[in-house]
């Protein structure tokens, strides 16, 4: 696997739960950037969500596997959940670089909300050297790279999906359906594990 020139998309997220907004964004970017694959990377400890109760990493990992299983281009990595401590993208990129080899081109995909906050992330200078970043549109958030160094980020319009994990969790807690907001298998996994009750 090492030393090839594949184009690898990386979609990091807490995925609590993964929803169709994540999947559409990854699919659209894969097509627009001719990616060979997209690796979904569930966070270990999302340090900027410390005030929010986050489901166990294994549940978030399994929901991500279920959601991506039918797409041969989509894969899931455990690098962030298997690393102790807060999750930093600079570490994610270092681990995936080691896995995919020096010639792979890495494209890190983020929604407009995450892009707005990116300068608060750890070691951003190093991070920007390790991958190209792709910011995607998300309803309710302005998509801009004015605050980021030139040529580090591409902005991409994706089909608008007004879905958030926060809203999915709240719907489950209130007994409302999440069918068609998340993949069918994820609806069933949430019920089986009694998540968000
Ligand atoms: N509907 C969406 N459209 C485009 N991008 C999205 C959408 N939802 C999430 N993303 C992006 O996917 C990545 C992972 O998001 P995350 O797992 O935090 O989901 P979330 O819906 O934002 O969760 P929460 O509501 O719990 O904060 C982030 O870069 C985020 O901006
Ligand atoms: O590197 C950081 O400091 C950093 C801070 C916040 C978020 N991130 C990454 O951004 C991605 C989306 O995170 P989140 O919290 O919106 O689910 C995910 O891959 C996180 O690891 C990274």
Q: What is the mean pLDDT of the chain?
A: 97
Residue from 14, 46, 110 to probe ligand 2 pocket by mutation (most atoms less than 8 Å from CB): 46
Encode pLDDT of 21-57 as tens digits: 999 999 999 999 999 999 999 999 999 999 999 999 9
Residue from 114, 172, 180 to probe ligand 1 pocket by mutation (most atoms less than 8 Å from CB): 114
Encode pLDDT of 63-113 as tens digits: 999 999 999 999 999 999 999 999 999 999 999 999 999 999 999 999 999
How far does the centroid of ligand 2 lie from the alpha carbon of residue 110, in Å? 9
Looking at the chain, the whole-number percentage of residues with pLDDT higher than 90 is 98
Residue 1 pLDDT > 70: no
Ligand 1 atom closest to Cα of 168? 25
Q: Which residue has the tokens 């020096």?
A: 102
Q: Ligand 2, atom 12: nearest CA belongs to which residue?
A: 13
Q: Are 143 and 121 in contact (CB under 8 A)?
A: no
- Indicate whether this complex's ipTM tops 0.95: yes
Residue 81: strand, helix, or coil: helix
Ligand 2 atom closest to Cα of 113? 16
Query: How much is the pLDDT for 2?
Result: 47
Q: Are 26 and 74 in contact (CB under 8 A)?
A: yes
The sheet with strand 132-136 has its strands ordered as 74-76, 37-42, 7-13, 105-111, 132-136, 153-156
Residue 7 pLDDT > 60: yes
- Cβ neighbours around 87 below 10 Å, total: 23
Residue from 25, 28, 109 to probe ligand 1 pocket by mutation (most atoms less than 8 Å from CB): 25
CATH of span 7-192:
3.40.50.620
Q: Ligand 1, atom 7: nearest CA belongs to which residue?
A: 21
Pocket of ligand 1 (CB under 6 A): 13-16, 21-22, 25, 110-111, 113-114, 136, 138, 161, 163-166
Query: How much is the pLDDT for 4?
Result: 76
Residue 65: strand, helix, or coil: helix
Mean pLDDT to the nearest integer, 128-156 = 97
Residue 3 pLDDT > 60: no
Query: How much is the pLDDT for 85?
Result: 97
Q: Which residue has the tokens 């169709």?
A: 20
Mean pLDDT to the nearest integer, 162-169 = 98
Please report which helix (H) or strand (E) contains residue 108, including its range.
strand 105-111
Q: Are 19 and 26 in contact (CB under 8 A)?
A: no
Phi and psi at residue 151, in whole multiples of 5°? 70, 10
Domain residue ranges of the chain, discontinuous segments joined by +: 7-192
Strand partners, 20: none
Residue 18 pLDDT > 70: yes
Ligand 1 atom closest to Cα of 137? 4
Q: Is the CB of 196 under 6 A from ligand 2?
A: no
């Amino acid at each position: 696997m090492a030393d090839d020139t594949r184009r690898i998309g990386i979609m990091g997220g807490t995925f609590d739960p993964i929803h169709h907004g994540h999947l559409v964004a990854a699919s659209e970017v894969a097509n627009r950037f001719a990616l060979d694959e997209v690796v979904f990377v569930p966070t270990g400890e999302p340090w900027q969500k410390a005030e929010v109760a986050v489901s166990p990493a294994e549940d978030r990992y399994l929901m991500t596997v279920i959601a991506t299983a039918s797409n041969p281009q989509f894969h899931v990595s455990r690098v962030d959940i298997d690393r102790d401590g807060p999750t930093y993208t600079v570490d994610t990129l270092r681990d995936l670089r080691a896995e995919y080899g020096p010639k792979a081109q890495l494209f890190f995909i983020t929604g407009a909300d995450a892009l707005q906050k990116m300068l608060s992330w750890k070691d951003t200078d190093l991070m920007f050297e390790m991958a190209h970043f792709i910011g995607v549109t998300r309803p309710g958030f302005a998509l801009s790279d004015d605050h980021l160094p030139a040529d580090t980020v591409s902005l991409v319009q994706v089909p608008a999906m007004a879905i958030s994990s926060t809203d999915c969790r709240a719907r489950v807690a209130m007994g409302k359906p999440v069918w068609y907001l998340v993949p069918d298998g994820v609806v069933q996994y949430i019920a089986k594990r009694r998540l968000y009750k």
